[in-house]
A = this chain, B = another copy of it.
Amino acid sequence: VYNSVCMAPNIYEVAHAAGVSVTTVSHALSGRGRVAPATRERVLRIAEQVGYAANPHAQRLVSGRSRTLAIQIAGFGVAGSTEFLPDAAFFLDLLNAASARAAERGYELILASYDLDPRRAQSLAIDGAVVVDPSGDEVLLRELPDRGIPVVTTSRPTIGSMRFPWVDNDQGGMAVRAFEHFVRMGYRRPAVIATARRRSYVADIIDAYVEWSRRRGTEPLVVELPEPPSEAAAGRAARRLLALAEPPDAFYATYDRLALGVLRETRRMGLDAPRDLGIASAVDGEVLRWVEPSITAADIKPGLLGAGAISNLVDIVEGRPVSASVIVPSRLVVRGSTRRGRDAGGV
């Protein structure tokens, strides 16, 4: 029953060395059963001495839990995909906060690659998963519910009928706030430059924009860029819109790179932001603070999204009641690209 030397010691060896049963060792180390203080002391000392550490695999087999969660981010972990990753700071923030929150709650975090195949999804030793910005056809979304493993999403899947608890910003409301900011600054006609509606936050923005335009009685101007989106494509879209009979004089882009593309291309056309047109982004990013002019953007608090999703997931895993949906606050950060007129001094 006892191991020989040289391998990592198991609980039997500790029990043997301490002259007690494995039950006692288990209880002494976990603090769960009743053990005489003196005995516990001795067991702890011996365990320390022989460098005992419980085999995590055995513990997991018996408990059925791994205290491990997975997090999956669109486009992440796919060879050669770096350039398709949207704003780096956003995801790093989200990931960092998720990782910190998981650690706080006593869970490990697995970075699931986005092209995970079904077999690997099945062999994932996890208690739950967060899927960031799902489209809806992710393998995890299909496989995990079958195994009884809870999933929480950040924003909502747009295709498929499964419903998961989610945490999200109010991107529609934020878009409207941005449009109203445009109007306050004297712009008359904002357009939207978007990625595919596959991401729910994009759909939210477009829907809010169409509704807002309807209320004002103006024709909505939306460009949905084909995948993968690029700065250049955003620039071309802006150029096309500006060639219209009734061109827009402001652009709301669904993420930072697109806003950047618009800025570059319009500048190339000899237009000046904020004077000739306004530019804002639905997702903030470091570059937006550094370009000239700096670009107005929504701070959607990626850290709150990441930490919130993990918290909710842990609550579900541990059987606590949670609300199925959580809205995380966000804030419009007004910068140079939309600051003009009498308010030019600052907001």
Contacts and interface: CB of A to CB of B under 8 A. Distances in A.
Contact of A99 (B58, B76, B125, B290): B76
Contacts of A68: 110, 125
A115 interface: yes
A108 B124 contact: yes
B82 A303 contact: yes
A95 B109 CA distance: 14
A183 to B, nearest CB: 29
Number of copies: 2
Interface residues of A, number: 59
A230 to B, nearest CB: 15
A203 B230 CA distance: 39
A97 B76 CA distance: 9
A322 interface: no
A79 B115 CA distance: 29
21 contacts: A53-B122, A53-B123, A53-B147, A54-B122, A57-B57, A59-B123, A66-B125, A77-B96, A77-B103, A77-B109, A79-B101, A82-B92, A82-B303, A88-B88, A88-B92, A99-B111, A99-B113, A103-B115, A108-B120, A108-B124, A109-B110
Interface of A: 8, 51, 53-61, 64, 66, 68, 76-82, 85, 88-89, 91-93, 95-97, 99-104, 106, 108-113, 115-116, 120, 122-125, 146-148, 286-287, 290-292, 303
